[in-house]
A and B are shown apart, each in its own frame.
Chain A
Amino acid sequence: MEMEEAKTLALLEQTFPGEVIEAGISLGDEIAVIVPEALIRVASFMKNPPGEFTMLLDLTCVDYRGEEPRFEMVYHLFSLSKNKRLRIKTRLPEKNPRIASLTSLWKNANWLEREVYDLFGIVFEGHPDLRRIFMWEGFDGHPLRKDYPLRRSQPLIRLRD
């Protein structure tokens, strides 16, 4: 198992020299950190054989406020045939965080990226319909960012009492 895992990461480092910042195994999970510009090429490479990571399990973002680049996008890919998971991470700057959209590769990226846009404010280039999904249009701010206060609510109708 260890050999196979190391093979995927080694293959990744070979195919994209210079764009893979870091690759390793931590707590049994394979992780690869790449530069944001390489995302769509890496993802489409991993989707095809020999990786065969045909399913995008999850797509999320972590806000490291205080560090620069501030946002870290985390993608979890899954290979049904090989029964393996892979985590791809990439960092985005605070000012104008933009990254390529994965909707051309996986269909569930549509809603997942809308969620990240809604809660963090990351713009996905190439997304067919980028708008808020949990909060309503007209909501000010992005709730899951660290500088958004937990209790700052924006009521839609006038509250009694």
Chain B
Amino acid sequence: MPSRLQRQARQDTLLLNMGPSHPAMHGTIRIMLELDGERIVNSEVEVGYLHRGFEKTCEHRTYFNLLPYTDRLNYVSPLINNLGYVMTLEKMLGLEVPERAKYIRVIMSELSRISDHLTCLAAMAMECGAFTVFLYKMKAREFLWDVVEQTTGARMTTSYIRIGGVRADLHPDFDTGLRKAVSETRNVLKDVHGLLDKNKIFLNRTRDVAVMSREDAIAFGWTGPCLRSTGVYYDVRKAFPYLVYDRLDWEVPLGDRGDNYDRYMVRMLEMEQSLRIIEQAAIRIPRTPRAFCVDGIDPADAIRASRRRRPEENIRLSPNLEGSEKTLHPDILSRGSGFAVPPKEDTYTTIEGLISHFKFFMRGHGIRPPKGEAYCAVEGGNGELGFYIVSDGTDRPYRLHLRAPCFHVVSALEHLIRGRYVADVIPTFGSMNMIGGELDR
């Protein structure tokens, strides 16, 4: 199919296709360039190669069922997508989340944000030739993912942040793991600063390349690190504070020129700020007097005993993964029935628990927000990640729309690379942090 570029191109220019199967590991996007020698005269960006029908699929799933789909949107910072969706739903339902759950959400969001920035800059640096930076950052990311996995059970797509709170409480060894991850990340960031900040080659490729002015950035709807690199102070966490961000002490780094180097530097400094947030949150998180139940009767015995009478003893479940601990529920999930999966102790040993479990998952019952609509935004790795949900009173969303931050950022790519060299496309595109799952939905 001839594209717009092919139809409009001059006769004496070369058409170059940077096809959907990209060696630059950003997923699938097609950039067609019209070249005059090495200069880009015109370009066309074609997206949609990863359009997985997220919005249409969500109309056919219940509110609880579609949590895993939200993980796979911005797949390098999956917990933030979870958070955005869940906060929109809590806004519609009017739920209040317990304190401890808020702190846990903040810690998990910031861990995701750091891994997002690490991946983005690692890919950008690798494509400029700095392969060492890629390996160092992947190493740091592994430590972060180990911390996330210890609590949530999965490295990447966790579906951990649930409606009303979080899925399970932090692992007892969370602090040690977190300390190690934070120190390793700090080391890696220090190394990368030393490798790239004053590196002549990196500066030549990124300084004053693809400069975006403030007015253009606002006109294109840019948000997030890309907007902040142009000098505009807008961060959703400061503008519309949610969870506990207003109680923690952190700053928003800004750039001044809006070129590739500023986008790189803003992300590096934001990672340092995220580490600050994590450390403060880990210290200030309200300690729970409740502990994991390490002694108690075996689950099978409890089920057998429940046939005669409700068991009064504690039931021993493994810390996070085999089922929610009823004792910890008040800390991590909001009160009020019908919004969260009931604790397994109740489900398997009492009839009321079984009925509430059944009604939660049954078609037509479960979470049914009142008729209406809501829009709520969180600060994703790329900017303002907004969810717009229209509910018609049933257990499935009538319409769920995602305001994808990188959609707006990438729509400016044609404008940014016009007049530049072919080699400038790579760091520009890398600094934009295009994530296919979010762009194409």
Contact = CB atoms under 8 A, between A and B. Distances in A.
Contacts of B91: 27-28
B398 A62 contact: yes
Contacts of A121: none
Interface in B184-219: 216, 218-219
A137 B221 contact: no
B248 interface: no
Contact of A60 (B218, B398, B401, B415): B401
B56 A74 contact: no
Nearest to A109: B221
A135 to B, nearest CB: 7
Contacts of A28: 91
Contact of B219 (A108, A119, A129, A133): A108
Nearest to B240: A83
A100 B407 CA distance: 21
Interface string A80-112: 100101010000000000000000001110111
Interface in B1-36: 1, 4
Binding site secondary structure of chain B? mixed
Interface in A124-150: 129, 131-138, 143-144, 148, 150
A134 B386 contact: no
B47 interface: yes
Contacts of B386: 57-58, 76
Contacts of B372: 26-27
B234 A80 contact: yes
A134 B56 contact: no
Size bracket of the A interface = 35 or more
B1 A136 contact: yes
B440 interface: yes
A35 interface: no
Contacts of B307: none
Given A76-B375, A80-B234, A111 B407 contact: yes
B436 to A, nearest CB: 12
B271 interface: no
Given A29-B375, A55-B218, A135 B56 contact: no
Contact of B51 (A111, A129, A135): A135
B51 A63 contact: no
Contacts of B390: 62
B411 A150 contact: no
Interface string B383-404: 0101010100000001101010
Nearest to B217: A55
Among B47, B55, B216, B220, chain A packs the most CB atoms within 10 A around the CB of: B220
B129 interface: no
Interface in A9-57: 26-29, 54-57
The 10 closest A-B pairs by CB, nearest first: A134-B48, A108-B221, A134-B51, A111-B411, A58-B403, A60-B401, A62-B399, A107-B219, A108-B408, A108-B220
Interface of B: 1, 4, 47-48, 51, 53, 55-57, 60, 91-92, 216, 218-221, 232, 234, 239-240, 372-375, 384, 386, 388, 390, 398-399, 401, 403, 407-408, 411-412, 415, 440
20 contacts: A26-B372, A27-B91, A27-B374, A29-B375, A55-B221, A57-B221, A60-B388, A62-B398, A76-B388, A76-B403, A80-B218, A111-B407, A111-B408, A112-B407, A115-B407, A131-B4, A133-B47, A134-B48, A144-B55, A144-B56
Interface of A: 26-29, 54-58, 60, 62-63, 74, 76, 80, 83, 85, 87, 106-108, 110-112, 115, 119, 129, 131-138, 143-144, 148, 150
